[in-house]
Structure 1
Amino acid sequence: MQQPVFLEPVFQERIWGGTALRDRFGYSIPSEHTGECWAISAHPHGQSTVREGPYQGLTLGELWEKHRELFGDFPGETFPLLTKILDANADLSVQVHPDDDYARIHEEGEQGKTECWYIIDCREGAELIFGHHAGTKQELKEMIDQGRWSDLLRRIKIRPGDFLYVPSGTVHALCAGTLVLETQQSSDTTYRVYDYDRTDDRGNNRELHIDKALDVITVPHCPINPDQTIRRHDGLEVTTFVNSDYFTVYRWKLDGNAAVKQDHPFTLVSVIDGEAELKTEAGLFPCRKGDHMIWPSDLRTFQLEGRAEFILSHP
């Protein structure tokens, strides 16, 4: 094949969503409250489909099931990762995700959810909720029961280009005015802790999951700050953000030409700015802002030319 597999994303409407996915990337979104672009997804709650080429129209799940050779015969029943772009036009609920063991027991075999965020853009002075100030489980429960959210929740300032690693068990929330690319385990399990007493269009509060959240929240909060490395060759600057048990995530900044070698069974790729041309023996493939693709196992060496910024990941 020796060519990228371009994917069509799936969009999810959310109470906190907006129009940034349209305004920034030119996507055709379903409403003015579109919160999530599931860009590279084989999760049953929203599957990407192949945009063009010999596998056009197949879902990523079908591609994984029927053509595992494209993924270097990587093991596993389900595609392991999910790439999203999130438009937080309003604050997201304060939430936490379980690990694999807890999710397997309590969520009908679902995977846990460790994730990470690359801040594509945000308002000046923007912040996130990341962690908490409770010292013990008992203190955590008391602060939640008493609604002492300003005392409990840890807030941090962010800027475009920041990267945060969010392991399962971490209390977190994106705040208004933030556009984020999220790389995560392929899971849709979220436990809401606090939702600012908001109601939906029918006047109902969204469901909270306090008991399960208390089971899985890591106490005390122990932030993990992975060591980042930068290397350069040709016209390419490669920043490695994290190398974890679940995924490795990079940012590539291309300015000119670069000869590229892929050393992994497959790679998930999102173009978040600019445009470039990928050249292989199979032809030339334009890669533009807003494109998402998988570089399959037989795409070992190729050329990139242009000015673009990519976020890449692999399991």
Structure 2
Amino acid sequence: MTATPQLLQPNLVHHFYAGGARIAALRGLPPVERCPEEWVGATVSRADSPTVGLARTTDGALVRDLVEADPEGWVGAASDGAATLPGDTGILLKLLDAGQRLPVHVHPDRDFAARHLDCPYGKTEAWFVLDASGDAAVYLGWSTDVDPDELAERRDAQDGDWMLSRLNRIPVRPGDGFLVPAGTPHAIGEGVFVAEVQEPTDFSILLEWSITTSTREESHLGLGFDRAMEAVSITALDADDLARLTVHHDLADRAATPVPLLPEAGDPFFRLHLLSPDHGDAPQVPEGFAALVVLSGTGVLEGTTAVPVGGGQSWVVPAAFGPWRLVGDARVLVARPGERWRGSPVGRIVG
């Protein structure tokens, strides 16, 4: 049974949009043009490739293959009896450094994915802002209800300005956390560097494909827009909704316990915590799969064994490592699957 955390190779993903310098700087790598994402510990690939995005350990093993060969050791016993996908860990963690604005797009929820995409997961996601430059902002949900016929017309006309003008534009700063429920139109603005944790799929419905390398026919998940638009909310998010979807944490703070970085409404899907020991205290993490990014400093993961870690590294931690704690002065992001990640129903987050 796997019992030791595994150090990961860099796993930069080439994309249509600019960015990636801040990922390269964190990882101690030379900048690579248009590699604005790193998929940390990923056991799922990008939608257009069976291999792009899959993470490897430093000895060359695919994390997906390790998990598939020893699912109990990596993710624990399936106590609820629900079936999972081969190599499934319940989450996907990314670093995303937007050198330009991303398109307006939407992800389907679990119900839509089960009915139309033969998958138990949709793509609820969340962002934690690590850095932001210039007039950085994100766009999250409609600011007013939209008419579905007009939305379809504006989509076909590729009227991105109309879409942006009707989305909630939210200026960002480091330490901001946002939950993005499936079905919610959204975009990330230029200059925003985030850790993104999400359900483990690459399902996207592009409402604004003209600023990407995709075509119209590559923008509706192969379902046709009449069907795909059923996954798209046309209802506004009001101030109370946005308040439930946003939090803030000062990255400079240190704490004796893991600090939750995302709104509680995301807990059924995934968890993201900061470990930043305070005066010798050692934050402890429960047993289970985790993907880690060491933001700075050095430390030791103490579980069934002691594993040294350092700034710029990324790791995957198996369930068989048991409950573990971080000792030292390192600051570590820890992503874990949600409370009901093995496919149990999840209700609406807003609305």
TM-score under structure 2 normalisation? 0.76
SS in 1 for 2:329: strand
Amino acid at match of 1:101: D
User: Identity percentage over the alignment?
Assistant: 24
Aligned residues between the structures: 306
Cα distance between partner residues in 2 of 1:16 and 1:234:
36
Indicate the residue corresponding to 2:263 in structure 1: 242
Are 1:220 and 2:235 an aligned pair? Answer: yes
Indicate the residue corresponding to 2:64 in structure 1: 61
Indicate the residue corresponding to 2:184 in structure 1: 170
Cα distance between partner residues in 2 of 1:24 and 1:298:
26
Indicate the residue corresponding to 2:9 in structure 1: 8
Q: Over residues 225-269 of structure 1, what are the superposed CA-to-partner deviations in whole Å (9 max), with x where a residue is unaligned?
A: 258699x99745623523432112222223442334432433332
Cα distance between partner residues in 2 of 1:62 and 1:160:
35
Indicate the residue corresponding to 2:346 in structure 1: none
CA 212–131 in structure 1, closer or farther in 2 if over 3 Å, else same = farther
Cα distance between partner residues in 2 of 1:229 and 1:208:
33
| 211-220 or 154-163, larger mean C-alpha shift | 211-220
Do the aligned residues in 2 keep the contact of 1:17 with 1:36 (CA within 8 Å)? no
Q: Over residues 258-294 of structure 1, what are the superposed CA-to-partner deviations in whole Å (9 max), with x where a residue is unaligned?
A: 3344324333322233332324553342232342322
Alpha-carbon RMSD? 3.1
| 157-166 or 105-114, larger mean C-alpha shift | 105-114
Indicate the residue corresponding to 2:76 in structure 1: 72
SS in 1 for 2:277: strand
Indicate the residue corresponding to 2:333 in structure 1: 310
Cα distance between partner residues in 2 of 1:83 and 1:150:
26
Unaligned runs of 5+ in 1: none
Do the aligned residues in 2 keep the contact of 1:10 with 1:39 (CA within 8 Å)? yes
Do the aligned residues in 2 keep the contact of 1:117 with 1:164 (CA within 8 Å)? yes
Unaligned runs of 5+ in 2: 47-52, 339-351
CA 295–285 in structure 1, closer or farther in 2 if over 3 Å, else same = farther
Do the aligned residues in 1 keep the contact of 2:16 with 2:34 (CA within 8 Å)? yes
Are 1:90 and 2:100 an aligned pair? Answer: yes
SS in 2 for 1:43: coil
Cα distance between partner residues in 2 of 1:138 and 1:92:
24
SS in 2 for 1:254: coil
SS in 2 for 1:268: strand
Do the aligned residues in 2 keep the contact of 1:5 with 1:296 (CA within 8 Å)? no
CA 265–227 in structure 1, closer or farther in 2 if over 3 Å, else same = same
Shift of 1:186: 0.6
Shift of 1:295: 4.7
Indicate the residue corresponding to 2:345 in structure 1: none
Cα distance between partner residues in 2 of 1:299 and 1:269:
15
Cα distance between partner residues in 1 of 2:171 and 2:248:
22
Q: How does 1:158-307 map to 2 (within 5 A)?
A: 158-195=172-209, 197-198=210-211, 200=213, 207-209=218-220, 210-222=225-237, 223=241, 225=244, 235-236=256-257, 238-243=259-264, 244-280=267-303, 282-307=305-330
Q: Over residues 117-143 of structure 1, what are the superposed CA-to-partner deviations in whole Å (9 max), with x where a residue is unaligned?
A: 001111132111111233443454455
Amino acid at match of 2:123: K
Cα distance between partner residues in 1 of 2:273 and 2:57:
23
Amino acid at match of 2:263: V
Amino acid at match of 1:39: V
Cα distance between partner residues in 1 of 2:248 and 2:163:
36
Q: Over residues 142-192 of structure 1, what are the superposed CA-to-partner deviations in whole Å (9 max), with x where a residue is unaligned?
A: 554563334323211111110000110010111111111100011011111
CA 284–36 in structure 1, closer or farther in 2 if over 3 Å, else same = closer
CA 130–58 in structure 1, closer or farther in 2 if over 3 Å, else same = same
Shift of 1:48: 1.1
Are 1:36 and 2:26 an aligned pair? Answer: no
Cα distance between partner residues in 1 of 2:206 and 2:219:
5
Amino acid at match of 1:187: T
Amino acid at match of 1:25: R
Which of 132, 150, 162 is the aligned partner of 1:122? Answer: 132
Q: Over residues 14-63 of structure 1, what are the superposed CA-to-partner deviations in whole Å (9 max), with x where a residue is unaligned?
A: 1213232213332356x311121011200033211222xxxx43312112
SS in 2 for 1:259: coil
TM-score under structure 1 normalisation? 0.83
Q: Between Structure 1 and Structure 2, which shows a larger proportion of strand residues? A: 1
| 219-228 or 96-105, larger mean C-alpha shift | 219-228
CA 278–83 in structure 1, closer or farther in 2 if over 3 Å, else same = same
